[in-house]
Amino acid sequence: MKIEKVEQNREIENFIEKSQEEYEKENNIECNYTPFYFIAKDEDRIVGALSGATFFAEVYIDELVVDKESRGKGIGKLLIDAVEDYYRDSGFNNINTCTNGFQAPKFYEKCGFELEFVRKNKTNPKLDKYFYVKYF
């Protein structure tokens, strides 16, 4: 048996995807992984964006960014609200996200997310990772 690090490629992605789908099917589970994006525009200019994916019974927010000049104007909250409105009553159980200490823990709490746990970084507390959930 040989273990090696390799670069990302379609063959590996196909192997992983096929194997996961087979295992999910064996357990009567459907992943239905679907990425999504929401944007906030001021006229024709994008001032905020949110990316994520739905899978299993959850909605996951991966990235949320608002340009520097537009921060503090409620755009991030509007993006979160749009995700909630879009996926509410769609059969999903909750929305998950995580953020680092230097990013937005207080923001997610203001948006109604509950802190599940914090994974401490041993060398830099700014990189502590905060895991949040919000139930529908």
> What's the structural domain count of the chain?
1
Residue 36 maps to a domain: yes
CA atoms of 74 and 38, how far apart (whole Å): 15
**Cβ proximity of 50 and 35 under 8 Å:** no
pLDDT in tens, 79-115: 999 999 999 999 999 999 999 999 999 999 999 999 9
* Residues in the chain where the model's pLDDT stays below 70: none
Residue 1 maps to a domain: no
CATH of the domain at 124: 3.40.630.30
Domain that holds residue 47: 30-135
Residue 53 maps to a domain: yes
pTM above threshold 0.75: yes
Residue 78 maps to a domain: yes
Residue 67 maps to a domain: yes
Q: For residue 39, what pLDDT is reported? A: 98
Residue 100 CA to its chain's centroid (Å): 13
